[in-house]
Structure 1
Amino acid sequence: MSETQTDFPIYSTMTLIDVVPNLKASQSFLLDGFFKRELLSTTAEVAIDIDVGKRRMAPFCSPLHEGKLVETRAIQTKTFKPPYIKDKRIPDMHKPVMRAIGEQIGGNQMTPRQRYDANIALEIKDQLDMLQRRQEWMAAQCLVNGYLVIKGNGFPETIINFNRSSELNIVLSGTDMWDDPNSTANPTKEIRDLVIRTLNVSGAQVTDLIFTKSAYDAFIKHQDVQQIFLNSAIRNNNDANVHLGPQAAAGAMMMGYWGTYRVWMYNDWYVDDDNVERPMIPDGLVIGVSEDELRGIRAYGVIMDGNVGYQSVAYVPKMWVPDDPALLHIMLQSAPLVFPARIDASFVVHVAQGYENG
């Protein structure tokens, strides 16, 4: 008995949300490592309180004098309006009656209904992967630039500036570059100076050093760096223990430890609005970040859709069929904003020429 149109249901938003946890989402190193906290807003804006207190000391005072009035720690409230995402698609209506990719030819075939459900899950997974990649891009832009540039359909170009100190945005040039043939650089001293500068500016202790390929290559080839690794090996300790051989992996690969710092090499890409593939982090950079003190946040504004009840959630999938043309529509809505509450708990330094596409 053949299946009819009524055998292909239009699932409710709640049913689709229940399906999502069973789908494998793409891994995102920057999001998972440094932007762990989730903030759900009941409005189109998100607000965060930031402690901007200074390194004050308790005042001396004679027991015979009136106590000195001390102001309470300063708290600064920042408000941001997350950009909105609407990923709408019309799946191929022929797929329910076609053999799926990899499906056995003849025998043990999926029914049209099973294929219909599988195709819906596949579309939603792709939507979630794209949303995840967009948030990873936001995280990368925050760490690289200290600000976000948002633009899109009906959304005028907007700069969301987190105001990282200029002391923590460094661009080397000439023989100061680590990969210059006549380099006079001292990578270990420069990294150490930036770590101390970060501590001075923000009070944050850097825990992770994220290298791009060219920066890492220049780092491990430098004479003073190799001497440190050699001395560590001779002393048989783990003060400096990183991989020196050629390696690569999608996302981030842990290359070892240097003192108390975790050392990573990051490789990830995205396709921009002009259909050009670009690196998430431009090649030639080193980023230092404090895992806890950055206080990275994944914030989500309310879903501006009355049909799903203006929900305060990270994303909402929905599906429907209009009367004419009667084609299935699937849409994922979200209002994400990835940002650091303490941008000065990170630094970025341009140390090598690098390659345009990483």
Structure 2
Amino acid sequence: MDIFDTRTMLEAVEQMKTPRRFLMATFFNGSNPRTFPTKTVDIDIVKGKRKMAPFVHPKLPGSVSLGEGYSSSTYAPPYVQPKRETTADLILKRAAGESPYAAKPPAQRAAEKLGADLRDLDEEIIRREEWQCAQALTTGQIRVVGEGVDDTIDFLMAADHKITLTTGKWDADGSDPIANLRAWKRKIAKDSGRTANTAVLSAEAVAAFQANDMVMKQLNTRRVDMGMIKPEELPDGVTYLGYLNDPGLDLYAYDEWYLDEEDVEQPMIPAGGLILGASNTRNAMLYGAIQDLDAIESGMVEAARFPKSWVTPEPSARWLKLQSAPMAGFLEPDAFIFAKVV
């Protein structure tokens, strides 16, 4: 079996235990991605309305009911293709942590190196996907800036769903975080018809929230037993805070960072901010076609990942590349609010 065959590598990628993607899994139906055989994808951004059926005499013709309004747009999902060189001497050398007396054949070393490299490349793409989700949720847009590309994917998030508190900040005396959450949940219900059930807070928002006397009186911590979270296994970087009976929200703290273009670590959720939204929307991860001749010839253009390997003769080296065209489809922006509360 050729371990560098595309189908073999693709099977390995699909079986990998990937890092948890909290925002993607919670708000973008991360377990049900949608792939497309085209470079572009059409998305329909729904703006819900509460129409009632009109009264009419039973002997008169029925009244025409128009479908819900939506905005249709066509986007080309951003393309990512991180690659890595695997040289012959790296394959022959003892791996870090491996016993110097181990006698692994070169083929086994190559297979293990391939697995480690595929995992690293896949994690780079996963971080980019989670970053897209965070950008969509907090700004309503995804800025796509890179080599040969400068574009903005705009999901038409209403300005009044991007809130910055100027008075009543959560770290100020007399602030009422619970009243804020209650009002924002009602706004989401009014504008989208969805029921917000989850709030994800930055570290600064958590600190201000937990220091508020009114909050601590109403925070129901019955789901926490001896400091251990009972109802679900939480991914790294996520802390379950508790359930707020009024207005009926699960509260989470999310501590995750990414390296920006200047190699400076930035929080996924901007400092002092929070995301409030519904976990049952039509949002989804969308994947455009793989733009590679090998993918076209092998009939695998419609895929979330496409691994590829090739050899250069001089200098002798094997290259590994993982391709993807992901886009966080923020299809119901009215079902979310981003608020800067500190």
Tell me if both proteins adopt one fold, taking TM over 0.5 as the criterion.
yes
Matching of residue 320 in structure 1 with residue 315 in structure 2: no
Matched to 1:316, the amino acid is F
Instruction: Please give the alpha-carbon distance, in whole angstroms, between the structure 2 residues aligned to 1:299 and 1:258.
Output: 33
- 1:122-133 counterparts in 2 under 5 A? 122-133=116-127
Q: Is the 8 A contact 2:198 2:279 kept in 1?
A: yes
CA distance in 2, matches of 1:218, 1:242: 20
Structure 2: how far apart are the matches of 1:226 and 1:345? 27
The answer (yes or no) to whether the contact 1:10–1:320 under 8 Å persists in 2 is no
Question: Aligned pair in 2 of structure 1 residues 48, 283: CA closer, same or farther (>3 Å)?
Answer: same
Aligned pairs for 1:132-281 within 5 A: 132-155=126-149, 157-173=150-166, 175-180=167-172, 183-229=173-219, 250-259=236-245, 260-281=248-269
Which of 270, 273, 280 is the aligned partner of 1:285?
A: 273
**Hey, what does 1:85 align to over in structure 2?**
80
| SS of 1:79 mapped into structure 2 | strand
Segment drifting more, 192-201 vs 159-168: 159-168
Q: How does 1:31-110 map to 2 (within 5 A)?
A: 31-36=24-29, 37-63=32-58, 65-106=60-101, 108-110=102-104
Deviation at 1:226? 2.4
Q: Deviations over 1:39-68 (max 9, x none)?
A: 111110111345445211111123455544
**Kindly, what percent of the aligned residue pairs are identical?**
30
SS of the aligned residue for 1:198 comes to: helix
Cα distance, 1:304 vs. partner? 0.7
Distance 1:78 1:343, change over 3 A: same
What SS does structure 2 have at the residue aligned with 1:116? Answer: helix
Compare 49-58 and 327-336 and name the one that shifted more.
Answer: 49-58
**Structure 1, residues 111-131: CA drift from partner, whole Å, max 9, x if none?**
222111111111110000000
- Please say if 1:112 is aligned against 2:106: yes
1:296 and 2:296 aligned: no
Q: Tell me, what secondary structure is at the counterpart of 2:112?
A: helix
**What is the aligned partner in structure 2 of residue 20 from structure 1?**
13
Give the gaps of 5 or more residues in structure 2: none
User: Which protein has greater RCO, CA pairs closer than 8 Å, 6+ apart?
Assistant: 2
Secondary structure in structure 1 of the residue aligned to 2:96: coil
| Residue of structure 2 equivalent to 1:30 | 23
Instruction: Return closer, same or farther for 1:70/1:98 CA change in 2, 3 Å cut-off.
Output: closer
Larger CA Rg, structure 1 vs 2: 1
One-letter code aligned to 2:131: W
1:242 and 1:257 in contact (8 A); partners too: no
RMSD of Structure 2 on Structure 1 (CA)? 2.4
Q: Which moved more, 1:130-139 or 1:78-87?
A: 78-87
What is the aligned length?
Answer: 330
Question: Structure 2: how far apart are the matches of 1:243 and 1:262?
Answer: 16
How many angstroms does 1:306 deviate by? 1.1
AA paired with 1:298?
M
Q: Give the C-alpha shift of residue 282 in structure 1.
A: 1.3
Instruction: Identify if the C-alpha distance between structure 1 residues 206 and 72 changes in structure 2 by more than 3 Å, giving closer, same or farther.
Output: closer
Compute the TM-score of the two structures, normalised by the length of structure 2.
0.89
